[in-house]
């Protein structure tokens, strides 16, 4: 019985040794590629807000509703009746006055805040949209974001360029170390949109000057390839 177990163990060691000899571990070459594509934006999102205050909460809310309704109507007169306008935030809360030496705060009234966002596809209208909203009752310009109606084609272009650079780097490293590259082991992507501001127009412009500039679509690719002798 002991002889049988010993023979089986010996056979297992032999087979294991053969497997190790016929399946060597292969290394990998890892390379990183980065590329960017600059394009002109064709869409803007303008966020404006209305803040109203009153001793009573319902008065603050009612005043806010009237002003926001006027702002929306004014924006539609510029952007068209089917303009893409939406509410992105609304708050109604109390205002307190805090005594300088501590103690209990005093309720002084209520404030209503409503922020709406308008999508502008004719970028020459951005300044006019801002001025129109303010003239109609908006008292805050929250944000101005520039973008693209469809980012996918530009992102794909940047990814292709980044992938090509990663491959070129891997092949250059392989040549420099006397090895060859094999099949792709793994690939990972990353991308971002970076706005690049250009100098604005002069202060004497009839409307608020807004220069869209360009958008820099960046992409990165991390590539791993088999390293062959």
Residues with Cβ within 8 Å of residue 113, at least 6 apart in sequence = 49, 50, 51, 64, 89, 90, 91, 92
| d(C-alpha 190, C-alpha 26), whole Å | 27
pLDDT digits (tens, 9 = 90+) for 48-62: 999 999 999 999 999
User: If one looks up domain 25-40+151-228 in CATH, what number appears?
Assistant: 3.30.110.170
pLDDT at 78 over 70: yes
Question: What's the pLDDT tens digit per position in 149-174?
Answer: 998 999 999 999 999 999 999 999 99
Give the list of residues 6+ apart from residue 16 with CB closer than 8 angstroms, or none: none
In angstroms, the CA 111 to CA 66 distance is 14
Q: Where are the domains of the chain?
A: 25-40+151-228, 43-147
Does domain 43-147 fall under CATH 1.20.140.10? My reply is: no
Contact indicator for 219, 158 with CB cutoff of 8 Å: yes
**173 or 10, which is more confident:** 173
Whole-angstrom distance, CA of residue 171 vs CA of residue 30: 10
Structure tokens at 122: 């004719």
């Amino acid at each position: 019985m002991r002889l049988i177990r010993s023979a089986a163990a010996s056979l297992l060691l032999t087979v294991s040794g053969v497997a190790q000899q016929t399946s060597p571990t292969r290394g990998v070459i890892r390379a990183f590629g980065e590329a960017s594509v600059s394009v002109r934006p064709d869409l803007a999102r303008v966020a404006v807000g209305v803040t109203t205050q009153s001793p009573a909460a319902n008065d603050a809310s009612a005043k806010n509703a009237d002003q926001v309704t006027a702002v929306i109507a004014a924006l539609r007169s510029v952007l068209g009746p089917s303009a893409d306008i939406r509410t992105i935030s609304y708050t109604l809360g109390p205002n307190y006055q805090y005594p300088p030496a501590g103690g209990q705060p005093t309720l002084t009234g209520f404030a209503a805040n409503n922020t709406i966002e308008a999508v502008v596809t004719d970028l020459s209208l951005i300044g006019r949209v801002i001025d129109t909203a303010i003239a109609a009752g908006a008292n805050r310009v929250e944000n101005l974001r520039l973008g693209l109606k469809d980012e996918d084609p530009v992102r794909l272009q940047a990814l292709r360029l980044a992938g090509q650079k990663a491959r070129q780097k891997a092949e250059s490293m392989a040549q420099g170390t006397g090895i060859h590259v094999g099949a792709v082991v793994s690939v990972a992507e990353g991308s971002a949109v970076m706005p690049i501001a250009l100098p604005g127009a002069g202060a004497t412009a009839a409307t608020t000057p807004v220069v869209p500039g360009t958008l820099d679509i960046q992409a990165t690719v991390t590539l791993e390839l088999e390293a062959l002798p």
